[in-house]
Structure 1
């Protein structure tokens, strides 16, 4: 019984850390929250079933992968090139390494902007605006944050309902 309380406390701590990780990209938010839910499954208080755990594992994996792809994808949809898309990805990782959590916001924007400015544009293709691509990368980052928050919110819901 005491071990159950320990697991619940650890589960809640992991889920709260996962919630923080939705905003701070250096912390893998949804995977930590899912791990917290998994730990809660092993308590005598839980009525969670393996189907729910497995489905949420799949959702968590997909959301985690999409979180890395959203900034580059939206930047490309807003007129960015492959240079801008790669700049977004490199900027995300470089920003986090050198600037911490703040770099996760600034990095994709600067990376897309630099990527678009570095590529050689013929005069006839000057309609592609590098600033628009950079804004797209920021919007992609915000979309990723939103999707992660929704995912962790669903995990929190299942924890509360099944305990």
Structure 2
């Protein structure tokens, strides 16, 4: 039974990393779910208050990194709040509408469409902003991947 629990815990961590590519998957919930599964399956004794405070700070960092990377990149490339919303909507529906490539094309097209429709930007400027949204997506994924890895490594340091 112990082996099954470890397989499930590691499986939750893997799903969290898949969430970096498919942002519709709430990575942080799978990581915290793995911590809770460990606690219920084995013991919460090693998962003390310092563990939860440390992890809580990193959960906040995940949310902040995701939000800021997109905003900074889109703004740096000349985008507006409309393109931020467009890229966010695109990243949610893109993978469903365009399997595989949707996680890149969704935010790209979402930002472009939003800039053209809401801000009345020309196509060249809108494409530049769309590229900014994709840069933000990748920057966010890299930062979130590092933060998630730190969280998981710290978990293993604490429990093993």
**Shorter-normalised TM-score: what interval?**
0.7 to 0.9
Contact kept? 2:71, 2:136, Cα under 8 Å: yes
Aligned to 1:35: 33
Structure 2 distance, partners of 1:83, 1:135, is 15
Contact kept? 1:112, 1:134, Cα under 8 Å: yes
Alignment of 1:50-61 (within 5 A): 50-61=49-60
Structure 2 distance, partners of 1:100, 1:91, is 13
User: Structure 1 length normalisation: TM-score?
Assistant: 0.78
Structure 1 distance, partners of 2:19, 2:88, is 18
How many Å apart are 1:67 and its aligned residue? 2.3
Distance 1:161 1:115, change over 3 A: same
Three-state SS of the structure 2 residue aligned to 1:48 is: coil
RMSD of the TM alignment (CA)? 2.7
Aligned to 2:142: 146
User: Structure 2 length normalisation: TM-score?
Assistant: 0.79
**Which entry has the higher C-alpha Rg, 1 or 2?**
1
Alignment of 1:2-151 (within 5 A): 2=1, 4-42=2-40, 43-44=42-43, 47-64=46-63, 66-67=65-66, 70-100=69-99, 102-118=101-117, 119-121=119-121, 129-151=125-147
Aligned length: 156
Distance 1:104 1:65, change over 3 A: farther
**Structure 2 stretches lacking a partner, 5+ long:** none
